[in-house]
Each structure stands twice: as C-alpha cells, then as structure tokens.
Amino acid sequence: MRRALAVAAAALMLTSCAAAPEPAPADPARDLAGKVNADAIFGHLEELNGIAAANRGNRAVGTPGYEATVEYVVGVLRDGGFEVSTPEFEWLKMGDPGKPTLQIGGRSYPVTQASPLAGTPRGGVSGPSLRPRKPAGCAAADYGDVRGALAIVDDTGCSVVVKQNAAVAKGAVGLLVVSAGGTKGLFEPGYYQKLTLPVAVIDRTTDAALRRTTAPVRLTLDAQASVAKSRNVLAQTTTGDTTNVVMAGANLDSAPRSPGINDNGTGVAALLSIAAALGPAPADGNAVRFAFWGSESLGAAGKYVSGLDAGQLDDIAIYLDADMLGSQNAGFFTYDGDQSAATNEAPEGSAGIERTLAGYLNLAGVRPADIPLDSAGDSGPFLTAGVPVGGLTTGSNQRKSAVQARLWGGRAGAAFDPNHGTARDDIENVDHRALSITGPALAFAIGTYAHSIEGVNGVPARDRRHRQG
C-alpha cells in the first residue's frame, strides 16, 4: 500500500510539472527575437517558391497558386496550435476595360467608370448636363428638375452612392462626379455593387467643356467586370489581454507574373516564423493577432478594417506591417511614425513603434532610415482609423543612393529590389543577411508590445482610444 501511494504521488507530481506553464522570460522581446532566424524564414520561402513553380510561376489572388498559398499558411498555423479563420473578401475581377467616354460637342473625353458593374446600354445614354443647387448633390432637395439629364456633382460631402440615390430620386439618367483626385470618403465599401446608375468620374478639363455647352451630351460606359471572392487568413493567440491586441500583417499574394518571394513571401514567412516562436498560448501579456491579407492592391486589409465596429477597433493596440524584408540590394527602412519627413501627424504611439524598431536595428549593426507613412498599403486603413502603426521594409524599386550604399552596402544607382514584380522575384534573389536582421527585428517589436504597451515607447491605453473605421 505504501509503495502504491508513493507511485501515485510521484505520478501526480509529474503531471503537475507537465501541466505547469512555462514562466515568462525576463526579457520576452529579446527572447522572441532570438528564436527567429533567417534559416527558419527560408524554410517557408522554399514552400512558397514551390507553390509558385507548380502554378504557372505565380501566386496571384484569384489563381490556384493563391489558394495553395492560403492552404499552406493555414496548415502551418493550425499545426502550430493556432485557431485560424479565413474570412472572405470581395473584389472586382476586371474583364473588358472598354473605352468609357463622354461626348461633348462632337469631341470625346475619356472618363473613369465608377463601377464596371453598372454600364450604359449599347450606344450610351444622352441628355442635357445639369447641376444641383448645392454642388455636392447629397440630397434630392439639392436638385431641381433633372429628369432625363446627366447630373454633375463634385466629390465632397458624401459617398458616390448617396449622390447617385439623390440624383435618381429626381429622375437623372446618369451622374458625372468632378474630381481632382482627392476622393477620400467618396467610395464607400462595396460601392461598386450599390451603383445602379451609370456613374463616371471626370476631371476639371472635362468639366470646363461641359460648362461651355447647353447641348445634350452622351455618356458611354462599357467596362466590364465580375465580383470575385477570396480569403484573408487570421490567427490569434489564445492567451493575453484581448483589449490590447498586438496585430501584425503581411499581404499574401504575388504580382500576376511573379513568384512573389520577396514581395511579399518574406513578410509572410517572417510572420509564420514569429508565430511558431511565440506559440499559440504565451505566458502573459497581450493577445497577438497575425493577419495575412489576400491582396494589398485590392484593399483586403481595408475591407477587414471597415467590418470592425468601434469597440473592435479600440481593442487593437498597434498594427505592424511586414513588407519586402529581404530585398537583394537591401536598405533598412522603418515606417516614419514620428513623421519627421512629413507635415501630417500619425496616430499617437506610432513614433514609439518607430523608436522600438530603430533601436533594435541600430543594435543589430544597421542604421535605419525613414520611409513615408501614408495611406497606401496594408497599414493605410489602420492609420486612417487612428491605430498606431509601424513596420519594416528593405525597399522596392526605388534606387539606392550613394549615401545609402555607403551606409548599408550594395550597389548605388540600382533598385533596392531589381526583381520587383518580375519572374525573377524567386528564392534565389532574396538576401539572407537582410532577413537575418529584419525577421528578428519584427519579432522584437511584437514581443515588446505583447509584453506591455506601456513605457517610453508605449501606445495609448484602451480607455484613451476613440477609433473610426
């Protein structure tokens, strides 16, 4: 009996030891960075390169190569213990681009068809061009009688869908939106499916021609497209504070005629390596969410952000972007979170993220430079929503200056990535040294904020966030 009790006690002790969580490391950021290396990242790149080779040399969204990429990423994350979701997003798959035009006084002016799902009948639509009393045309009350006319509005005040609905209510047969390129807020999510009226965006020159005539004009919109669906990939740790989510993302697809191994297989592979090193249930701190966006050019990240409510946006403490981390003629750029090279302001906390990344790079032996932080790319929707953002890149098709070549080595006058968007963007043209620096740097930043969002490089606490999607 005594022996049986002793065995049972020993078994209980072993079970207790096995079930006990590992203690958090003294320096979790350094610990995570130390577990990420270029060899592990290259292991994923080899798989992505193989997927491209088996699928006509590319992994572009809407192709079997892209779907195989999604399945690979999902498999790696699930095998690592993560719960993974693959939410769909819609995108326009362009067909015949047509030749959208507006005929004014016998002369044809090129226009932009707002939605290739809403064209004109063969031969176009014609009528007088009339303007509302209020240039924005956001309400039916802004118009007089525009039955059978093409209404002309500016690009301010409301979305193009609201403008269309107001014009339709007063009988317009088409809508012309005058824009100089500043169309923020004009195109709401899913607008192309909400437009039923022929709508064209015109420039100031075309608008001036309209002002010189009272004769009927003819609008022809003949571009064609269909709505396609694709998938993002999301995975989040099962532990950590879910009101302080540290989010890191990379676009998953390649250019149409490229394997896309630097752009952006390197960002994808780095995040997969970091996820494996972090594990699905870290000991403490904040939750970490990894995002693999279906396509940067199709705005997959923006569609994700637009689907979050204010509370879900407030739960995101920071967003880190991983884009082109192994350029062959590498530079070392951090996103300009302190806006030292710009006049506009970034969300509070972005400067601290830049300092965190720059501090690691300096200690790794490379002096970083700023790259503009703007609304382009996957970080743009987070920036616009007010989320502190940061990120790393080793450069694209910009040319390396002589000063940069002295700073980082490589060839002055050549592009940072001379293979960008081409069939040569394969595993043979990724810089191992660059990845050995940028991968751990990204891991360090994720580890830093996963541990704590406070400190000199911290970001606003949850109760100080007031985000807008």
Among the listed residues 283, 249, 253, 277, the one whose alpha carbon sits nearest the alpha carbon of residue 265? 253
Give the Cα separation of 51 and 250 in Å (integer): 18
DSSP H or E run through 271: helix 266-278
Residue 296 DSSP SS3: coil
Among the listed residues 169, 177, 119, the one whose alpha carbon sits nearest the alpha carbon of residue 146? 169
DSSP letter (8 states) at residue 381: H
How, if at all, do strands 150-154 and 174-178 pair? parallel
| Residue 428 phi, psi (nearest 5) | -70, -15
Domain with CATH 3.50.30.30 in the chain: 101-223
Asked, as a colleague might, if the bond just before 264 is cis with ω within 30 of 0, I would say: yes
pLDDT < 70 regions, the chain: 1-24, 182-184, 341-344, 469
For residue 123, count other CB atoms closer than 10 A to its CB.
9
State in words which class domain 101-223 has.
Answer: alpha beta
Q: For residue 183, what are the CA distances in angstroms to 190, 219, 296, 317, 467?
A: 15, 21, 19, 28, 21
25-93+229-464: CATH number: 3.40.630.10
| Residue 112 phi, psi (nearest 5) | -105, 125
Burial class (CB in 10 A: 0-12, 13-18, 19+), 172: buried
Among the listed residues 313, 327, 328, the one whose alpha carbon sits nearest the alpha carbon of residue 382? 313
Give the Cα separation of 392 and 373 in Å (integer): 11
Res 1: pLDDT: 37
Give the Cα separation of 328 and 51 in Å (integer): 21
Tell me how far the alpha carbon of residue 422 is from its chain's centroid. Answer: 21
Tokens 């968007």 belong to residue: 421
Res 10: pLDDT: 37
- Whether residue 161 contacts residue 189, with contact meaning beta carbons closer than 8 Å, is answered with no
Give the Cα separation of 83 and 69 in Å (integer): 18
Q: What share of the chain is helix, strand, coil (3-state, %, to 5)?
A: 35, 20, 45
Query: In sequence order, what are the beta bridge partners of 251?
Result: 293
DSSP H or E run through 313: helix 310-314
- Whether residue 337 contacts residue 353, with contact meaning beta carbons closer than 8 Å, is answered with yes
Position 317, amino acid: A
Res 341: pLDDT: 63
Res 289: pLDDT: 98
Domain with CATH 3.40.630.10 in the chain: 25-93+229-464
Residue 306 DSSP SS3: helix
b/e sequence 15-31, b meaning 16+ C-beta within 10 Å:
eeeeeeeeeeeeebbbb
Beta strands in 40-158 (DSSP E): 83-85, 88-94, 101-104, 107-110, 112-113, 125-127, 129-130, 150-154
Residues forming the active site: 296
Tokens of 230: 């694709």
pLDDT digits (tens, 9 = 90+) for 176-225: 999 977 666 788 877 888 999 999 999 999 999 999 999 999 999 999 99
